[in-house]
Amino acid sequence: MFFHIVRFFLWLPLMILFPTKVVGRKNLKKGKAIICPNHTSNMDIVVLLANTFEKKYVLAKKELFKNKFLGFFIKMFGGISVDRDNYDVGAIKKSLKVLNKNKKLVIFPEGTRNKNKDISTMNPLKTGTALLAIKTKTPVIPVWISSRPRPFRLTKIIVGEAFELDKFYDKKASNENLSQATEIINEKLNALK
């Protein structure tokens, strides 16, 4: 409830400061899903959460939680701390719990911000998104953020159709299978450009 109240009061100022158009909102159906957007700016998650209404959980780098004030708000908006430098079992368990409760989880599959001048060239994707999607049999929703969000400049968010990595569901989570599944996610993201 507190989440929705805070979100309500933040929505209008955010829409004025970071105007955003969402294309394909109908693809964000109810139920569990892994939302995987490209990642070009720290504002990506802000504009995404402000413009999609169902509460989502978000994997966020642990460094963001060091500031207690910022950490409080990140947790309130569904932030799950993840150590990007190590195999973070705690973050994986929390993510599995979210998906097993039929909730939505946002994962930036690039693992870090894309600092390339041309954002259409993504960083190589990590295999974590594929691993969680396969392990929990969860649909993946690709999302393309068309430009780095900037004040008073329109940002377009394109939400693609959900897809499943079902051909990997009953297979061993080998490096080869995870790489193949990750390549499918990469193709779906690139198709939204």
Residue 181, in any domain of the structure: yes
In a domain, 8, yes or no: no
4 domain residue, yes or no? no
Residue 49 lies in a domain: yes
What distance lies between CA 158 and its chain's CA centroid? 13
For residue 126, what are the contacts with CB-CB under 8 A and spacing of at least 6?
Answer: 109, 110, 111, 182
Longest dimension (CA), the chain: 48
Domain count, the chain: 1
Amino acid at 57: Y
pLDDT in the model for residue 104: 96
Residue 50: domain span: 17-190
Does residue 3 lie in a domain region?
no
Whether 12 maps to a domain, the answer reads: no
- Measured CA to CA in angstroms, residue 154 lies from 4, 39, 80, 124, 151 at distances of 24, 17, 28, 27, 8
What pLDDT is stored for residue 1 in this prediction? 59
What is the four-CA torsion angle of 168, 173, 175, 179, rounded to 10 degrees? 30
- The answer to whether residues 139 and 164 touch, using CB atoms and an 8 Å cutoff, is yes
Q: Tens-digit pLDDT profile for the chain (193 aa)? A: 566 676 777 778 888 899 999 999 999 988 999 999 999 998 898 889 888 878 899 998 888 888 777 777 778 778 898 888 888 888 999 999 999 999 999 999 999 899 988 888 899 999 999 999 999 999 999 999 999 999 999 999 999 999 999 999 999 989 999 999 999 999 999 999 8
pTM for the whole thing?
Answer: 0.91
Which CATH number characterizes residue 108's domain?
3.40.1130.10
The answer to whether the beta carbons of residues 92 and 83 sit under 8 Å apart is no
Residue 141 half-sphere exposure toward CB, CA atoms < 13 A: 23
For residue 6, being part of any structural domain is answered with no
DSSP 48: H
Judge whether 136 lies within some domain.
yes
